[in-house]
Amino acid sequence: MTATDLVDRLAGHKTVGAAPREELLWLVSHGSLRHLNEGEVLSAKGVPVAGLFVVLTGHIAIFVDRGAGRHKVLEWRAGDVAGMLPYSRLVSPPGDSVAQEPSEILAVPRGDLAVMIRDCHEITSILVHKMVDRARVFTSSGLHDEKMVSLGKLSAGLAHELNNPASAIERSAALLEERLNEAEQAARALGASRLTDLQLAAIDAVRASCLAAPVRSVLSPIQQAEREDAIADWLTDHGLDAGIAGPLAETAVTLDALDRIAEAVGGPPLDAALRWTAAGCSVRGIASEIQEAAMRISGLVMAIKGFTHMDQATVAEPVDLTLSLGNTVTVLKSKARAKSVAVEVTVEPGLPRVRGFGGELNQIWANLIDNALDAVPDSGRVEVTANRERQRVVVRVVDNGAGIPPEIRERLFEPFFTTKPVGKGTGLGLDIVRRLVSHNDAEIEVETAPGRTEFRVSLPLAEIDGAGGSR
């Protein structure tokens, strides 16, 4: 194919065809015609892009794995341009560009692009607009993938957090039926005993002590076992079933109280009275556990709603950082617990609200705290603080990990850059943070040294009154 024939083909190209013919001739004179077979890799992830590719025929697609699985994010067909574009900071692509069918391209080496910018103004202008469109596609795709990865982490953590109280409710409900049966049987036996008013009063006194607040001091497992053994010995000495020692040991009843009921009741009615008392105390304890577990589930649901900001407005609004940070830590608690990491949140009393998008701020905290949890060793520590500093509120996320090496410190906020293993990180977390920080009119800084890394986000106050305070 002659140069003139190739220029004629470029003149009919959807993207560059509007450029002057002399500029199309420049492309032809500096480029080379390449034929790609189906499945052939045009540009590989991690390898510098060879140059600008003008697609003449065929179909080329780029596949990226950002932690949510390999998928196609962009494709080029006849009439499109791919590869390196003018003024782009792209060094290597985020994924492999692969021919989906036999394709033909005109490849211009990247070393000639600076000359193209100088000599081909129309083509440069066309390609810059294409670069903006491509960046928009990659950004929206990156945001979607990061949200999907975050959703996966959130779902896994939420499932783990909900499983514990849900299992507790299931176990307690089954045990509750058993204890209610015991209480009914004991009540029948007690009713058949025809006790006097004095005896009933003694039983009510012991039962009241059982239903009182639990023992104030928290007993160790050894101390609790010793208390249960002492009650079991008392029951055995009085010819009673030691099986009810466990439920009685969980209450505030004392051996002196048991002695008083034994003196007042005595004989077979004593066994029925203590069984009825133990069953009643156990039922109330189980009901309390069910209520506590249900409240835990309700609290988690509220935290998730607050974290995702299901009712978020479309404009910036006042945000309470106490709730924002608290909800974020709640949804990441299972990950912290898995590594035995202590996460401490300290918010200045009376902290004024900040202006921003609640859901986006939560995404910032989630990324920073999640990264901190990854950075610290087992039994490490993460501190989250929020304080007012002049007319801003500053949130700090500090961890006691190994720190960030100098060679990667400058690349922290680059898109697709990650130090995590394949499939463990998208390389988008801090890039997303940077974008969201900017969208919320905030600023982010990082300081790091061995044993301490601090990410610092400065946010605007929601509203400043005439005296310089916040409302």
Question: What pLDDT, in 10s, does the model give residues 207-236?
Answer: 776 665 444 444 567 878 888 899 899 989
Cα–Cα distance list, 158 to 171, 277, 300, 307, 372 (Å): 20, 38, 8, 12, 19
Instruction: Say if residue 468's pLDDT is above 80.
Output: no
Query: For residue 303, what pLDDT is reported?
Result: 57
Instruction: Kindly indicate the confidence band of residue 426, based on its pLDDT and cuts at 50, 70 and 90.
Output: very low
CB environment 57-69: b (16+ within 10 A), e (fewer): ebbbbbbbbbbbe
Q: Which amino acid is at 235?
A: L
Instruction: Say if residue 423's pLDDT is above 60.
Output: no
Q: How far is Cα 144 from Cα 311, in angstroms, rounded to an integer?
A: 20
The dihedral sign for the CA sequence 13, 18, 21, 22: negative
Cα–Cα distance list, 38 to 42, 99, 100, 101, 225 (Å): 11, 5, 5, 4, 73
Query: For residue 139, what pLDDT is reported?
Result: 56
Which is higher by pLDDT, 146 or 343? 343
Which is higher by pLDDT, 153 or 124? 124
Query: For residue 215, what pLDDT is reported?
Result: 42
What's the residue count for the chain? 471
Query: For residue 217, what pLDDT is reported?
Result: 44
The gap from C-alpha 192 to its chain's centroid, in whole angstroms, comes to 59
456 contacts 435 by C-beta, under 8 angstroms? no
Which is higher by pLDDT, 17 or 202? 17
Domains of the chain: 3-119 (2.60.120.10), 155-300 (no CATH), 309-460 (3.30.565.10)
> Can you tell me the mean pLDDT for 172-180?
82
The dihedral sign for the CA sequence 343, 349, 355, 357: positive
Query: For residue 101, what pLDDT is reported?
Result: 94
Instruction: Say if residue 160's pLDDT is above 90.
Output: no
Prediction pTM value: 0.45
Helix or strand (DSSP H, E) at 206: helix 197-211
- In sequence order, what are the residues at sequence separation of 6 or more whose Cβ sits closer than 8 angstroms to the Cβ of residue 85? 52, 127, 128, 130, 131, 134
Q: How far is Cα 370 from Cα 99, in angstroms, rounded to an integer?
A: 37
Q: Collapsing DSSP states into helix, strand and coil, what is residue 81?
A: strand
Which is higher by pLDDT, 40 or 158? 40
- Give the number of other CB atoms < 10 A from CB of residue 372: 26
Least confident residue range of 199-203, 239-243, 273-277, 294-298 = 294-298
Which residues is 70 bridged to in the sheet? 65
Instruction: Say if residue 110's pLDDT is above 60.
Output: yes
Q: How far is Cα 4 from Cα 22, in angstroms, rounded to an integer?
A: 11
Q: Which of 351, 354, 332 is nearest to 343 (CA)?
A: 332
Helix or strand (DSSP H, E) at 123: helix 121-191
18 contacts 124 by C-beta, under 8 angstroms? no
Query: For residue 251, what pLDDT is reported?
Result: 72
330 contacts 303 by C-beta, under 8 angstroms? yes
Helix or strand (DSSP H, E) at 56: strand 51-65
DSSP 461: B
Q: What is the pLDDT of residues 397-411, one digit of tens each?
A: 999 999 888 877 777
| Strand pairing class (342-347; 381-389) | parallel
Instruction: Kindly indicate the confidence band of residue 290, based on its pLDDT and cuts at 50, 70 and 90.
Output: confident
Q: How far is Cα 460 from Cα 417, in angstroms, rounded to an integer?
A: 29
**Average pLDDT score over the chain:** 80
Q: How far is Cα 463 from Cα 320, in angstroms, rounded to an integer?
A: 13
413 contacts 457 by C-beta, under 8 angstroms? no
